[in-house]
Amino acid sequence: MTDQQKIIGGFFSLELPMRSEYHSQALRLNSARYALEYVLRVRHYKKIYLPAYICDSVLQPIKRLNIDYTFYSIDEHFAPVFNRVPEDNACFLYVNYYGMNNANVQRVCRNLTNVIIDNTQAFFDRPQLGVDTLYSPRKFFGVPDGGYLYTDAEERLELERDPSYYRCDALLKQIDLGSVSAEPLFEQNEAYLDTCGMHAMSRTTQRLLMSVDYEQVRTIRNENFRFLHQQIGTYNLLRADFTNVNGPMCYPFFIDRGEELKDYLLQHHIYANDYWQEVLSRVASTRFDYRLAKNLIALPIDQRYTETDMRFIAQIVRSFLVDNQKDRTV
């Protein structure tokens, strides 16, 4: 990669604050899935153990490199159900679900070797020393691409930058015309990242990430998370630590009729991401992984929203629960 010659004068570009990247010491790639591919390449792994409760996009680099893979289960505390030692040429991937499982991360790193930590849902959690760790800024900020990777592997890959200026139209159209109008462009960008191959992070994405006020983002996410937990936490069946949060991705709300609640929220213009429908075809219906994929609702708590928005979400959730309680008593 060569640096561009600096031009003095000329027309203006976007006016963006100049701060520091939160993960300024990490390797910069165009997506977290390509960060995983980078690790698999430089470590020369032949097999990977990964949780069944995971997005299919993670399988893309694994299949592309023709690496053998085996799924393991997680228990109701999100700890891996795994009682063997990985082979020397195998690695073990653990996901820090919702950014709330750092204790499990530490336990896995302490007890196993060749560990890869997937912090794509835990942007603000720092990596464990000497442990390959990957991040996805696209899950937390408005950027067209991007992934971060911490690794101490001696081998390094030379990567070309993939310009992303022409894929910022979704972000700009969302500002002008709203999310619904911009959704097809977001889907096009996602499809592009599925097939574009591994590149270095674009200059546009890096510059956007240098403009973020990370401490403000973390504070807002923490406050929104705690407010929702205070309002509806008593109904949450999830067994997790809700007290020690660090800029979490969402508020994970787990109830018996979560699938119906997702539809109810959508009727009130509250969009909750699915994590992940493909799991339903991967595991038995009796397993915790299956119930999570079917009934866990990832309620939005990010920096775009205020306490007023959280109060509205809580109100809609309680309305659903009251209506369903009435249905059961009729």
Helix or strand holding residue 72 (H, E): strand 68-74
pLDDT in tens, 198-217: 999 999 999 999 999 999 99
Q: Which of the pair, 3 or 308, is modelled with greater confidence?
A: 308
- Residue-level length of the chain: 330
* Identity of the residue numbered 125: D
Q: Please tell me what DSSP assigns to residue 300.
A: -
What confidence score (pLDDT) does residue 310 get? 98
Structural tokens at position 309:
């928005």
* Identity of the residue numbered 317: V
Whole-structure pTM value: 0.94
Q: Which CATH number fits domain 27-209: 3.40.1350, 3.40.640, 1.10.3470, 3.40.50?
A: 3.40.640
pLDDT in tens, 25-70: 999 999 999 999 999 999 999 999 999 999 999 999 999 999 999 9
Q: Contact at 8 Å (CB) between 324 and 256? A: no
What confidence score (pLDDT) does residue 13 get? 83
**How big, in percent rounded to 5, are the helix, strand and coil portions of the chain?**
45, 15, 45
Q: How confident is the model at residue 3 (pLDDT cuts 50, 70, 90)?
A: low
**Topology agreement, domain 27-209 and domain 214-329:** no
What confidence score (pLDDT) does residue 326 get? 60
Cα–Cα–Cα angle for 122, 126, 127, rounded to 5 degrees: 100
Structural tokens at position 314:
């809580």
Query: 304-312: long-range contacts at Cβ-Cβ below 8 A with a sequence spacing of 24 or more?
Result: 305/220, 305/224, 307/223, 307/224, 307/227, 309/224, 310/224, 310/227, 310/228, 310/231, 311/227, 311/231, 312/270
Q: What percent of the chain has pLDDT over 90?
A: 85
Q: What is the mean pLDDT of the chain?
A: 93
Ranges of each domain in the chain: 27-209, 214-329
Structural tokens at position 9:
């004068």
308-320 average pLDDT score: 97
Q: How confident is the model at residue 323 (pLDDT cuts 50, 70, 90)?
A: confident
pLDDT in tens, 249-263: 999 999 999 999 999
What confidence score (pLDDT) does residue 132 get? 98
Q: Has residue 327 got a pLDDT over 80?
A: no
Q: Contact at 8 Å (CB) between 147 and 32? A: yes
What confidence score (pLDDT) does residue 14 get? 85
CA atoms within 13 A on the CB side of 11: 2
Q: What percent of the chain has pLDDT over 70?
A: 97
What confidence score (pLDDT) does residue 84 get? 80
Q: Contact at 8 Å (CB) between 273 and 265? A: no
What confidence score (pLDDT) does residue 330 get? 42
297-304 average pLDDT score: 97
Least confident of 71-75, 153-157, 325-329: 325-329
Residue written as token pair 């896995």: 108
Q: Has residue 325 got a pLDDT over 80?
A: no
Q: Assign domain 214-329 to a CATH class.
A: alpha beta
- Kindly give, in sequence order, each residue whose CB lies less than 8 Å from that of residue 69, ignoring residues fewer than 6 positions away: 47, 48, 49, 50, 59, 62
From the list 171, 160, 140, the residue with the least C-alpha distance to 21 is 140
Q: Work out the number of other CB atoms within 10 angstroms of the CB of residue 263.
A: 9
Q: Has residue 87 got a pLDDT over 60?
A: yes
Helix or strand holding residue 9 (H, E): none
Angstrom CA distances, 242 to 132, 215, 255, 275, stand at: 26, 20, 16, 19
pLDDT in tens, 107-148: 999 999 999 999 999 999 999 999 999 999 999 999 999 999
Q: Has residue 329 got a pLDDT over 80?
A: no
Q: Has residue 167 got a pLDDT over 50?
A: yes
Q: How far apart are CA 229 and CA 214, in angstroms?
A: 22
* Identity of the residue numbered 66: N
92-118 average pLDDT score: 96
Q: How confident is the model at residue 4 (pLDDT cuts 50, 70, 90)?
A: low
